[in-house]
Amino acid sequence: MKPFALTPDMLSTLGKTFYPTGHTMLIFADEAAARRAAQALAEGGVPGDDVAFVSPEAITNQIGPTTSDADNPLPSPGTEGATVRAYVRLAQEGHAGLLVRTETDEEMERLRTLLRDKPPAMGQRYRTLVIEDL
């Protein structure tokens, strides 16, 4: 598992809001729960480079500010701004996250299987033009 670092390819084209296409963002009750989930993924064979730990501080300081232009110059037609604001609210309560590469349906199904006993408080899969609730 690697630490989270926001990169330009994790932002939407319009508004530059957090939108990491090909990844799933999982929010857990706290850091310990997120780390247990990461361990389950590692034990299930998910490569460490495909999983990033997202601390509450990273959510509020790196991901949160991406909503500043979400509705500029026009209101966003999508939910990415509202989704980021939900992440920030949870992070302020101590929730932590994992950002997991899930480019294929098979990778997504593997993620669901491995975390069946460790469900996140919130989960969003980012695909091209679609944010899928888990």
- Cα separation, 104 vs 17, in Å, equals 23
What is the value of pTM for the model shown? 0.92
In one-letter notation, the amino acid at residue 21 is T
- Cα separation, 59 vs 123, in Å, equals 14
* Tens digits of residue pLDDT in 38-90: 999 999 999 999 999 999 999 999 999 998 755 555 555 567 888 999 999 99
- Cα separation, 10 vs 15, in Å, equals 12
Which tokens is 33 given? Answer: 């729960």
Per-residue confidence (pLDDT) for residue 44, from 0 to 100: 97
* Closest CA relative to residue 53, chosen from 69, 67, 36, 65: 36
